[in-house]
Structure 1
Amino acid sequence: MESKQQQTKWSQFLSLIVVFFFWGFVAASNDILIPVFKKWFVLSQVQSQLVAWAFYVAYFVGSVIFFLISLKSDILQKFGYKKTLAVGLGLSALGAFLFVPAAAAANFWFFLTALFIVGLGFSVQQIVANPLAIKMGSPQTGAHRLTLAGGINSLGTTIGPILVGIALFGMGNKEDSAPKNQNLSKIEIVKNEYQTHKDELSKNIIELKKDTQDDPVKVNEVISTIEKNIADIDSQITSIDQNSGASDAQVDQYSAKLGEIKQKSTNITYPLEFVKENLKMVKVPFIVLGVAFILVAIFMLFSKIEDPAKEEEALIDEPAKFNIFHYPQLYLGMLAIFIYVGVEVSIISNLPALLHTKEFGGVLEHNIAPFVSLYWGSLMIGRWNGSINVFNTSKTTNLILKFVVPFIAFGIIIFSNELSGKDVSAFYIYALWIVAFIIMSFIGGKNAGKTLMIFGIAGVVMMFLGLVYPDKDLAKYFFISGGLFCSIMWPSIFDLAIAGLGKNTGKASSFLVMMILGGGIIPLVQGWICDFDKSSPDGIMGITWTHFSYVIPILCFVYLAFYGFVTPKILKKQGIEMGETTSGGH
């Protein structure tokens, strides 16, 4: 009977990990919403990062509220895990449905409120689902179940941007998303960039002329403004045609002029009804999500998922006062979680703005989804690679799987994007970064401190190379590879931070979850730096401020490497030797 109780309750666990998928789906989909909102609400880059801020601040607020209530009454014991989880899902459903009136009103702050409520529900789900997954079987295999759940979470982050991109922009165009012709001269590339922007503006004029709901005077004013920009573009294209042998200095002048025209375009305030029309497709994926949240909540309530025994909870109840500052591994770990989640979100939240710059190819909103998918898919690659340690295999089999599984995950990313109609043949070179990641994972092994230090250093190197590498078609992959090196950081930090806390582990975990707040703060800092491009278009050190803003991830990775280096030494002084880490990911 005892051995049976120790087995994983797979039927219950598989029901639970659906929730992990949703967390990833919505978190990654935010990165598609950011450039869309930035365009139609005429936002600065730092304002656009309020999307991430609203979502991740909700985690902090929800965790604090839950913690304060728990001081007086143990919610999980009083209402049960299933009911509390269903409440969290219901809250997220409410937030998802609020996207409908937010789109109808075309109000940015309404969208942020809706996203905050979705995140608030997720915070409740996080608090319930993580310990519940651990308790669905033997404590010795609890971390293994979280690893598998983390892999499902990452699958959601990979698929989410693709599906939301299809909902907003339709199926992709392989010709439109294909890599640039490398045989073109510099002046021909600039001319194509002018033409691409002209086509985008011309499309808006066609749509505006169909607008019968807005004030005709306002519509005509906007059309007139756009036509002036198109006239400036035509003038520059004519000049380019007459100057096919332009010098590098002249090419730079043409590029600078294009930047000025694009800046004027981003400052155009479109009529309200026109904006509503362009935002209406945002409703679709969130209506589907809202319905899914409700269905899962109902399923949870009627499922066979069992609450952990109350006697088990009583064993960990400790009335003694708990002081964070007695545990340097914890308060340094709280900062590490804050920075880790912050850098993980900031790299990708600001990537659409980077790819939209001239030096990175001027990628438009409808072609952003594959890059977002590749970034979040990189976390899936890393976590699936880490999940191999869960299975009891021979050393030879383990070695083979360490190389095969990451490329299976990579194949899923490529295949999913191809199905959406995008040309992602340029992604094949990313295999080099995956090989580098696999080699580093062998060096780090299963030691939390060593792994965190190595991947922190790798993050510093990749971000630095992204800043200085001359070929921008390759430089962007150095930034995207940040997802690979972030993939295993959550479990490494978590294991180090709670080491030696004994019965205070639960309290420590709640403080660590609060630090997800970093996902809302650090992107704002990086976005603030990006916005210097408006007041200082010449950039800094020969690159744009948006490009330079990636010094923020460098600083973040420096601290994470430091935490991985110093914490084992702190623990050793406390008489604690760290073992292997197999935890899941955030």
Structure 2
Amino acid sequence: MSQHNEQTKWSQFLSLVIVFFFWGFVAASNDILIPVFKKWFVLSQLQSQLVAWAFYAAYFVGSVIFFIISLKSDILQKFGYKKTLAVGLSISAIGAFLFFPAAATANFWFFLMALFVVGLGFSVQQIVANPLAIKMGSASTGAHRLTLAGGINSLGTTIGPIIVGIALFGTGNKSEPLPANLSKTETLVYEYKTLKTELETNILDLGKDSHVDSAEKTATETKVNNQISKLNAGLATLEVNKNLSDELVNQYSKQLDDTKKEAANTLYPKEFVKGKLSTVKMPFVILGIAFILVAIFMLFSKIEDPAKEEEKLIDEGSEKFRITKYPQLVLGMIAIFLYVGVEVSIISNLPALLHTREFGSVLENNIAPFVSLYWGSLMIGRWNGGINVFNTSKALNLLLKIVVPFIAFGIIIFANNMSGKDVTSFYIYPIWIAIFIFISFIGGKNAGKTLMIFGVAGIIMMICGLFYPDKNIAKYFLISGGLFCSIMWPAIFDLAIAGLGKNTGKASSFLIMMILGGGIIPLVQGAICDIDNGPSGHGGIMGMTYTHFSYIIPALCFLYLAIFGYITPKILKKQGVELTESNESSGH
């Protein structure tokens, strides 16, 4: 009980959060890789989501392996937290280095293997770092430390896509923002020209590539030039007649869609694709070196292993442990599965959504700011929640909870501006931040109540994103899902392990296994997106494309999370488990 009033060990904690930063950096960078791989490997949306699947399935596999080994020998007690953490970092380093041969061979499955190995190392790191962060000080502020560490994780998710985006596409050009307030015909002309420019750039780059076989080069150039000719034919009519009838606009829209599908299914020569993917090598090689350096740093750091007596208590209860004995744990495992699933799925499928005509036909090189804003939204929420770990007056705590989210938003804007991207359209987003702050005060310090309210808010945001008529606004409703996901992990964790006592460690490993949801839910949503490319996809559903309609999946995930937040405290009460406000405050 002495730990209850113990101060946070800041020097040790700050060393640990470096690991949390890396998790975020890589996870968010995957969202930049998805549209790139989809384009150059000619993948369906479902196939492109295998990127998320490979990464998050590794968490499940790693956790299962860790659990099985722990049944015979407690790894953390035998080797210690620091050494185990260093091993996890080393495994991730191997995965990062595998990006070099994967890019050199332009092999999609090799990339997936590399991501799987990175995720395998992360699973070990997660199992160690989450409980370690909680134990670095008072038990009453343990969940807040985990939320603060999550805020550092989100800083990585905000910066990661920007840096990887620059590595893949270079810096942006602010002088070329997306035109606004265009007529239907003018919008169509813009889309024709955008696709034409992209194809002409590919032809130009292909012509310069001396490694490509001349016969392959000629065959590909013929296909692409044919696509450009179709676009030129459409432009010849559209640029002369600025106010076409709706019937003709629909006709030329269909022609554009057909050309887009044809272009998307054009398989470029492998040697050319190798050149396009070569830019992926360096960021991940640098990341691998960083993993090794941090592993060495961890081994020599002052981080102390928690008392081994704790681990002995866990072992004593392990023989009698049955997950079915604890309904809060079973429901919590489903909640973690869906929570990670919805967090990943919203952003993994966003590039495909933004690429649709109704959402502006945004190309791969302009996706990074939106990815950064989404993951930055999680940073905003987690920084807001992390404030509770500091011992401040009520007045200062209130002020910080209002000011800090907007400081975090300023960092997002600054980072994107530094990358050369025009993000003036993001200036409307503080409206959603203000809604988040208001709702966070309603939730208070009660994990169940907070989870329920944020789950309901997530449902509302997804529904508004589906049906709001102005798509320039609708996309921000969908992106704001990151705000309302931000505080859910510690809240779910708190509720799921409440009342488990000495079985808490074993229960935690089961919860980490459920990170698998981050690999499964995006596949489900991606499969719905792909209906647009099939024979039954023409015309969409309910007046929207299937890619747009696929965001019903995140809404359903939020529904379960809201229900979990509502019923679990009642289940715990029947078990005689009474949670105090301080224990449940991880909902922030």
User: What TM-score do you get using the length of structure 2 for normalisation?
Assistant: 0.97
Question: How far apart, CA to CA, are the structure 1 residues paired with 2:564 and 2:7?
Answer: 35
Alignment of 1:140-159 (within 5 A): 140-159=140-159
Question: How far apart, CA to CA, are the structure 2 residues paired with 1:138 and 1:475?
Answer: 42
Alignment of 1:157-168 (within 5 A): 157-168=157-168
Question: How far apart, CA to CA, are the structure 1 residues paired with 2:494 and 2:225?
Answer: 58
Which amino acid is the alignment partner of residue 360 of structure 2?
A: G
Gap change, CA 1:441 and 1:95, over 3 Å in 2: same
The aligned residue for residue 84 of structure 1 is: 84
The aligned residue for residue 263 of structure 2 is: 265
Q: Secondary structure at the residue paired with 2:316?
A: coil
Question: How far apart, CA to CA, are the structure 1 residues paired with 2:415 and 2:107?
Answer: 32
Question: How far apart, CA to CA, are the structure 1 residues paired with 2:137 and 2:173?
Answer: 47
Question: How far apart, CA to CA, are the structure 2 residues paired with 1:4 and 1:331?
Answer: 28
Gap change, CA 1:571 and 1:3, over 3 Å in 2: closer
The structural deviation recorded for 1:144 is 2.8
Shifted more, 280-289 versus 385-394: the winner is 385-394
Question: How far apart, CA to CA, are the structure 2 residues paired with 1:449 and 1:77?
Answer: 33
Which amino acid is the alignment partner of residue 267 of structure 1?
A: N
The aligned residue for residue 561 of structure 2 is: 560
The aligned residue for residue 329 of structure 2 is: 330
The aligned residue for residue 582 of structure 1 is: 585
Residues 3, 138 of structure 2: 8 Å contact kept: no
* Alignment gaps of 5+ in structure 1: none
Alignment of 1:384-399 (within 5 A): 384-399=383-398
Of 207, 216, 219, the match for 1:218: 216
Question: How far apart, CA to CA, are the structure 2 residues paired with 1:575 and 1:244?
Answer: 71
Question: How far apart, CA to CA, are the structure 1 residues paired with 2:136 and 2:490?
Answer: 19
The structural deviation recorded for 1:584 is 8.2
The structural deviation recorded for 1:14 is 1.4
Question: How far apart, CA to CA, are the structure 2 residues paired with 1:80 and 1:171?
Answer: 44
Gap change, CA 1:463 and 1:454, over 3 Å in 2: same
The structural deviation recorded for 1:229 is 0.6
The aligned residue for residue 188 of structure 1 is: 186
The structural deviation recorded for 1:571 is 1.5
Which amino acid is the alignment partner of residue 339 of structure 2?
A: Y
The aligned residue for residue 294 of structure 1 is: 292
The aligned residue for residue 203 of structure 2 is: 205
The structural deviation recorded for 1:389 is 1.9
Q: Secondary structure at the residue paired with 2:585?
A: coil
Gap change, CA 1:401 and 1:461, over 3 Å in 2: same
Q: Secondary structure at the residue paired with 1:181?
A: coil
Which amino acid is the alignment partner of residue 586 of structure 2?
A: S
Residues 96, 289 of structure 1: 8 Å contact kept: yes
The structural deviation recorded for 1:116 is 0.1
Question: How far apart, CA to CA, are the structure 2 residues paired with 1:135 and 1:542?
Answer: 52
The structural deviation recorded for 1:572 is 1.7
The structural deviation recorded for 1:299 is 1.1
Which amino acid is the alignment partner of residue 373 of structure 1?
A: S
Question: How far apart, CA to CA, are the structure 1 residues paired with 2:4 and 2:60?
Answer: 38
Residues 146, 584 of structure 1: 8 Å contact kept: no
Shifted more, 209-218 versus 91-100: the winner is 209-218
Alignment of 1:19-418 (within 5 A): 19-176=19-176, 178-182=177-181, 184-319=182-317, 320-418=319-417
The aligned residue for residue 537 of structure 1 is: 538
Question: How far apart, CA to CA, are the structure 2 residues paired with 1:78 and 1:546?
Answer: 49
The structural deviation recorded for 1:506 is 1.2
User: What does the per-residue CA deviation read over 1:160-195, in whole Å, with 9 as the maximum and x for residues that have no partner?
Assistant: 00000011111111123x24222x222111101100
Question: How far apart, CA to CA, are the structure 1 residues paired with 2:454 and 2:304?
Answer: 38
Residues 329, 497 of structure 2: 8 Å contact kept: yes
The structural deviation recorded for 1:578 is 2.8
Question: How far apart, CA to CA, are the structure 2 residues paired with 1:583 and 1:439?
Answer: 17
The structural deviation recorded for 1:245 is 1.8
Which amino acid is the alignment partner of residue 57 of structure 1?
A: A
Question: How far apart, CA to CA, are the structure 1 residues paired with 2:227 and 2:198?
Answer: 11
Shifted more, 263-272 versus 323-332: the winner is 323-332
Q: How many residues align?
A: 582
Residues 162, 373 of structure 1: 8 Å contact kept: yes
Question: How far apart, CA to CA, are the structure 2 residues paired with 1:78 and 1:21?
Answer: 27
Which amino acid is the alignment partner of residue 74 of structure 2?
A: D
Shifted more, 270-279 versus 204-213: the winner is 204-213
Which amino acid is the alignment partner of residue 189 of structure 1?
A: T
Residues 91, 117 of structure 2: 8 Å contact kept: yes
Question: How far apart, CA to CA, are the structure 2 residues paired with 1:533 and 1:141?
Answer: 48
Residues 24, 157 of structure 1: 8 Å contact kept: yes
The aligned residue for residue 548 of structure 2 is: 547
Which amino acid is the alignment partner of residue 170 of structure 1?
A: G
Cα RMSD of the aligned pairs, angstroms, is: 1.5
Residues 3, 137 of structure 2: 8 Å contact kept: no
Q: Secondary structure at the residue paired with 1:286?
A: helix
The aligned residue for residue 458 of structure 2 is: 459
Question: How far apart, CA to CA, are the structure 2 residues paired with 1:499 and 1:512?
Answer: 13
Gap change, CA 1:240 and 1:571, over 3 Å in 2: same
Which amino acid is the alignment partner of residue 93 of structure 1?
A: A
Question: How far apart, CA to CA, are the structure 2 residues paired with 1:301 and 1:501?
Answer: 31
Residues 31, 348 of structure 2: 8 Å contact kept: yes
Which amino acid is the alignment partner of residue 24 of structure 1?
A: G
The aligned residue for residue 426 of structure 2 is: 427
The structural deviation recorded for 1:10 is 2.1
The structural deviation recorded for 1:392 is 2.8
The structural deviation recorded for 1:252 is 2.2
The structural deviation recorded for 1:147 is 2.1
* Alignment gaps of 5+ in structure 2: none
Q: Secondary structure at the residue paired with 1:392?
A: coil
Shifted more, 290-299 versus 76-85: the winner is 76-85
The structural deviation recorded for 1:5 is 10
Which amino acid is the alignment partner of residue 305 of structure 1?
A: I
> Identical aligned pairs, as a percentage?
73
Q: Secondary structure at the residue paired with 1:318?
A: helix
User: What TM-score do you get using the length of structure 1 for normalisation?
Assistant: 0.97
Gap change, CA 1:6 and 1:440, over 3 Å in 2: closer
Shifted more, 357-366 versus 395-404: the winner is 395-404
User: What does the per-residue CA deviation read over 1:434-455, in whole Å, with 9 as the maximum and x for residues that have no partner?
Assistant: 1111111111111111111111
Question: How far apart, CA to CA, are the structure 1 residues paired with 2:464 and 2:3?
Answer: 52
